Copies of this chain bind each other. A is one copy, B any other.
Amino acid sequence: MKMIEMMLQTHPRADTAQTAERAAVIDALAVCAQACGICADACLGDSLHLDALRPCIQASLDCADACGTTARLLNRPVGMWNAPLHVAQLHACAVACQLCADACDAWADEHSHCRICAEVCAHCKEQCELLLVELASAETQNSEEAAFSS
């Protein structure tokens, strides 16, 4: 989604120094939301193991919801005032991705869609955590600047 990066670059309030990183997270979230949606339905289509697949289906539905909403929030570039929300939602999303990656990974040998979904979730979790680190360091920097200027 090169398009996302291009759009963020022309957003009047986006920090252009970080558009590539930000676009990568939104891209990972959008892909993960679709992967989890497909995986949940594909698992529901496996009549042989349906009973055992229920935690996997639930984790995928949860993760699709968490990723979808996290992407929507990140589409509105973070400012200082809403940074705590972005941090909290990214954290929730990383938890959802980890739970779904674990649940799908257990079925990686049986289902190609579970194997792919586990990989997509692991990548998405990584992207969320990279952005969390970046937001934390931005906050520290802002606090220090505030301390100096006061």
* Chain A interfacial positions (CB closer than 8 Å to B): 1, 3-4, 6-14, 26, 30-31, 33-35, 37-42, 44-47, 50-51, 54-55, 57-59, 61-62, 64-66, 68-69, 71-73, 75-77, 81-82, 84-85, 88-89, 91-92, 95-96, 99, 111-113, 116-117, 120
Contacts and interface: CB of A to CB of B under 8 A. Distances in A.
For A14, A111, A113, the residue with the greatest tally of chain B CB atoms inside 10 Å of its CB is A113
Contact of A7 (B69, B76, B117): B117
Given A13-B42, A64-B72, 9 more contacts: A1-B31, A4-B38, A50-B51, A50-B54, A84-B95, A85-B96, A88-B88, A88-B95, A91-B91
For A30, A73, A76, the residue with the greatest tally of chain B CB atoms inside 10 Å of its CB is A76
A46 B54 CA distance: 10
B82 A41 contact: no
By Cβ-Cβ distance, the 6 closest A-B pairs, closest first, are A37-B75, A88-B92, A10-B112, A12-B45, A69-B69, A41-B76
A140 to B, nearest CB: 19
B62 A73 contact: yes
B77 A41 contact: yes
Nearest to A75: B37
Given A31-B1, A45-B13, A8 B91 contact: no
